[in-house]
Amino acid sequence: MDKETDIAAGHNLVVVESPHKARRIQVILDQASNKAWKVVPTFGHFVDLPKKELGVDPSNAFALAWITTSKATAKKLNAEAKKATLVFICTDPDREGEGIAQHVYDIMINHLDPENIYRATFNELTPQAVIDAVTSPGRLDPKLVAAQQARRACDRLIGYMISPVLWRQVGDGTTAGRVQSCVLNELVKRTRQRRSFVSQDQFYVHANLVCGGVATSERFQTSAEAQTLLDELKQTPVNIIEHISTEEHEPPSIFKTSQLLTTAHTKYNFSSSFTMTHAQRLFELGLITYHRTTSEAISPSVVDATHETIKGLCSQQFCSSAPRLGASSGAHEGIRACNPRMFPSQAKLDADCSKLYELIWARMLASQSVSAKVERQLVEYSIDPSKDAPATLTAKGFYYTFDGWHKPSGGLFKRAENKLDSNGLDIVDLEIKHTTTQPPSRYTEASLIRWMEKKGIGRPSTYAYILRHLQERFYAGSNGSGLDSRLRGEFITTFLNLVDDELLSTSFTSELEENLDAIATGQQTYVDVVSAYHKYLEPFILKAKTVWLTTSEKCPGCSKAFGVWIDKKDEPYLWCKACDKWVWAEIDKAGKITEAPSA
């Protein structure tokens, strides 16, 4: 079929999610040709599952009870469909986008022949990408739709089946989630590890060097051991040996979603939600490619322009000898600047968007540059003249001998150097330093996202949502340097673990993610995956109804153990099921009752 001829024949309707995206595409299509185009936004999901019902029917192949949540959008789509000759559904190129596309299709099919309804996707909002998409469109992918709907069904089953039990037996407003509960469990474990950690004293010898560097000894449990070593160092000639090793640091690939979120958090302390919101804006402005992806691949078509930009900033020697295309996952690219010649200073963005764009643009230049060369110094100070004797003190240095990919990226990702002057390695003075062992570090949003990706739970579209949800629900909270679980989060995790800890395991959660991926590739079916999940949840719910969180405190009325329950304000109560007695309790940060009624 000659699509150019058909496009010219009548009114052509393009449907997208965002009004910002719609306005940009309208301008692109109007400028590209004199054909009749109408671009209409859905404003995100306009069809959803009912809020107060399960919306999943196990007796009917787990059919989903979709309802129209935005009648205005549905009315607009129906009106435009009546006037359309061809329809191009251009929602985002991922499962969520395919799910929205299905609901658009369900309206369009009432007014047009299926042959005239197309699915067009693009990875960037540039004129060329948009024109290519509508002149070479495809069809809706039923496997991707099934994967998206299976995710919704499984999320509904756990949320709407377990949460009512939690409300009754754990606390007001408490909920469970397929990924949320697994992540919360890990956060609770880390918080409890930190809480139970017993710090131990450590002592070591600290030496200041002529060059300004420092050398240190191993850690000792007592100051006497450290003092013995210090005395030996003062009384015995010290043998100094410097070892230098050369390394090449290869340039990174362009960002995938998890890397963008963690880098923005580490460098600028941007929350994951904040980063995704600003990345969405950059995408809609046509400045970056689609920002929800597990791919690190870059299109060969932009490599030449990237090399030209690198040459303009530095020189030819900083350009990679061959394109570095990165690891692909499907047809998507990673996150890159649409135009490498668009410098951050030229993009006319607010301060935060500019910082994020600069990260993405600089990473793109780095990806097509050459390796950096570094030298590592290891200086060993020994009081034992034998050749194989272990070093008594060690000092370490690190410096670049060739900046490589750090040059075109402006040093944005460059590690701080610590070069030790080889002529100044002599010891100036010695002293004993006291320190203590430290508990495992708190999870930050960045490290928690890295953990999620490593364990195979969550997806690019859900990382930010999960972290935001945990904090908005008061299951977790920021504690300056990172995240800690809160009391209600610990109550939920304790309860679910008492019922069956498999639900919270990373293997169980990642296996379901893999099954959803298998639906998208046609290796699994919607019914098989959802029914297996439902089969697991049914006995879980039955057991959950018999489990209660109890304490060692006794009810004054019947001497039975009090149960514990938490309200929406994160305040715990003791209660006796037999006496229907409720009393407020004081619980410390360790979850221990410090104030309770006496008999």
What CATH number is given to the structural domain containing 29? 3.40.50.140
- DSSP line for 59-104: GGTTEE--EES-HHHHHHHHHHHHH-SEEEE---SSHHHHHHHHHH
373-397 residues labelled b (16+ CB within 10 A) or e (exposed)? ebeebebbbbbeeeeeeebbbbbeb
Domain C-terminal end among 367, 387, 406: 367
Query: Which range has the worst mean pLDDT, 45-59, 112-126, 582-596?
Result: 582-596
- Out of 313, 346, 367, a domain closes at 367
57 and 9 in a common domain: yes
Q: Residue 578: what pLDDT?
A: 80
> Does residue 5 have a pLDDT over 50?
no
Judgement on whether residues 181 and 284 belong to the same structural domain of the protein:
no
Distances (CA, A) of 357 to 142, 260, 344, 350, 464: 35, 11, 7, 10, 18
| Mean pLDDT of all residues in 100-125 | 96
What pLDDT sits at residue 554? 81
**Residues 19 and 110 occupy one common structural domain:** yes
Question: In this structure, are 213 and 189 located in the same domain?
Answer: no
> In this structure, are residues 253 and 328 in contact, taking their beta carbons and an 8 Å threshold?
no
| Phi-psi label, residue 302: left if phi above 0, alpha if psi -120 to 50, beta otherwise | alpha
For residue 458, tell me if it sits in a domain.
yes
Q: Does residue 42 lie within any of the structural domains?
A: yes
Interval 121-142 mean pLDDT:
95
Residue 322 has which token pair?
Answer: 């061959």
Answer yes or no: is pLDDT of 2 > 60. Answer: no
Measured CA to CA, the distance from residue 351 to residue 357 in angstroms comes to: 10
Residue 125 lies in a domain: yes
When mean pLDDT is compared across 9-13, 368-372, 435-439, 508-512, the lowest value belongs to 9-13
- Quick check: is 20 in a domain? yes
Say whether pLDDT at 4 is over 60: no
Position 59 in a domain: yes
Phi, psi of 427 (to 5 degrees): -80, 135
**Which of 436, 456, 471 is where one domain is finished?**
436
Do residues 192 and 217 both lie within one domain? Answer: no
How does residue 328 score in pLDDT terms, banded at 50, 70 and 90? low
Average per-residue pLDDT for the chain: 91
Q: How far apart are CA 65 and CA 53, in angstroms?
A: 9
**CA 526, CA 142: separation in Å to the nearest integer?**
11
**Residues 518-535 pLDDT 10s:** 999 999 999 999 999 999
pLDDT confidence bin for 149, thresholds 50/70/90:
very high
Q: Are residues 81 and 52 in the same domain?
A: yes
pLDDT in tens, 330-358: 567 999 999 999 999 999 999 999 999 99
H or E, element range at 24: helix 19-32
Q: For residue 192, what is the domain's CATH number?
A: 1.10.460.10
Q: Are 12 and 103 within one domain?
A: yes
Q: Give the pLDDT of residue 11.
A: 84
Q: Is residue 28 included in any domain, yes or no?
A: yes
Same domain, 537 and 555: no
Work out the average pLDDT over 102-112: 97
Instruction: Assess whether 120 and 29 both reside in one domain.
Output: yes
Q: What is the pLDDT of residue 599?
A: 38
Contact of 292 with 257, CB cutoff 8 Å: yes
Provide Rg for the chain, Cα atoms: 30
What is the domain-level CATH number for residue 246?
2.70.20.10
Q: Is residue 442 part of a domain?
A: no
Number of domains in the chain: 5
492 exposure class (CB count in 10 Å sphere: 0-12, 13-18, 19+)? buried
pTM of the complete model: 0.91
Q: Do residues 536 and 557 share a domain?
A: no
Q: How far apart are CA 453 and CA 84, in angstroms?
A: 43
User: Which pLDDT value is given to residue 429?
Assistant: 95
pLDDT at 162: 95
Render pLDDT for 210-260 as a digit per residue (tens, 0 to 9).
Answer: 999 999 999 999 999 999 999 999 998 899 999 999 999 999 999 999 999
Residue 441, in any domain of the structure: no
Question: Do both 94 and 122 map to the same domain?
Answer: yes
Q: Write out the DSSP string of 507-565.
A: HHHHHHHHHHHHHHTTSS-HHHHHHHHHHHHHHHHHHHTT---EEEEE-TTT-PEEEEE
DSSP 406: G
| Percent residues over pLDDT 90 in the chain | 82
One domain, residues 531 and 562:
no
Domain that holds residue 580: 550-595
Rounded distance between C-alpha atoms, residue 251 and residue 404, angstroms: 8
